[in-house]
Amino acid sequence: MKNIIRCCALLFLLPLQFSGIANAAGENPDWLSCSDMRDKEPVTIELDCYRQIAQNPAASHKSLMTTRAHGLVKEWQPINALLNVHKQNYVLVYARASQINSAPTSPNPQNQVLVPAPMDDRDLKFQFSMKHDLADFHRYGSLWFGYTQLSFWQFYDAANSRPFRENNYEPEFIYSLLPGGLMPDVRFNPDIFNFGVVHQSNGQSNPRSRSWNRVYIQPGMERTDGKDRRLILLVKLWHRVKEDAATDDNPDITDYLGHGEIELRYGLDGKWEASAIARARSFQLDLAAPWESIRLLTLAVPGEHNTNIHLQYFNGYGESLIDYNHWHTSWGIGMSFPFD
């Protein structure tokens, strides 16, 4: 048991350490920290930041990982890093569901689970999501590869050897366009326009196999209050790529997950963030805040922390692929990667 806990700790703390290193802006600033100074610091300070990088060869090398940039446009500007944050990254050390899907179903007879499997209603749930810029076309956009993994680990089910209940793998290619320099300046111009091709599957064999392929467009807009408060709206519309009816694991998946989603984020840069994702028949709410913002936690575990306290609530269909047509409510508490 101790070895399992150590492995899990290393798995999730190593990326956090790298992200802290990548964003240290003191003696060894990186490109992202210099970019964040724009419009917030005098031009001379911003230029001095870039000058330090130019004089320090080690600083100009690509870092392993960055945290999410402050602002929608900056999130999709290629920077000098191997990995960039894509979707949210979190570990819910305790997540509980109202109803367990012990016998998953599908209209395809090959994907009917006939013998129910014993399941715990508690999971250790985590999501890891990164992207990498493959090509920078400057004012004509950029090409990215993204990867997201969402996992549900039956950590509390010792009687059944703590199996992974579900893993969802989601690779995608994204062409991101920043239309600011290409379109007339009107009030409701999108700040970004993404075009994507995405595959999502759970990597299992029949009858538990679930997968689908989509193409999508995603415009996004953001508004600030002139300081650090930021409101971001992302609208993603997708079209499912048709499959052979005989081998389609989940032919009615769009009846439950719909043809798109709306994501709304509101937060204070480098501090807290609340986000909501709504689909046709589901809703998810996430709230992340620095450890130091909760006084009782600071008193209980003093010192510096580079993680956020993360709360999550889900209601509806499709929290995971195996549950695409299974309704339930779940909630969880844990940690998410820092904003800074």
Structural contact between residues 142 and 103, judged by C-beta atoms closer than 8 angstroms? no
Structural contact between residues 340 and 96, judged by C-beta atoms closer than 8 angstroms? no
What is the CA angle 169-82-270, rounded to 5? 85
Catalytic residue from among 199, 259, 305, 328: 199
The CA distance from 46 to 29, in Å, is: 11
What single letter denotes the amino acid at residue 235? V
- Nearest alpha-carbon partner for 15 in 80, 86, 73: 86
Phi, psi dihedral angles at 4 (to 5 degrees): -60, -45
Is 201 one of the catalytic residues?
Answer: yes
The CA distance from 264 to 234, in Å, is: 6
Is 205 one of the catalytic residues?
Answer: no
The CA distance from 131 to 179, in Å, is: 20
Q: Count the helices and strands in the chain (H runs, E runs).
A: 7, 14
Q: Give the containing element (helix H, strand E) for 33.
A: helix 31-35
Catalytic residue from among 132, 201, 259, 305: 201
Structural contact between residues 79 and 32, judged by C-beta atoms closer than 8 angstroms? yes
CA distance to 232, 250, 255, 320, 331, per residue, from 207 (Å): 40, 11, 20, 16, 28
Task: Enumerate the β-bridge partners of residue 334.
Answer: 92, 310
Structural contact between residues 178 and 192, judged by C-beta atoms closer than 8 angstroms? yes
Catalytic residues: 199, 201
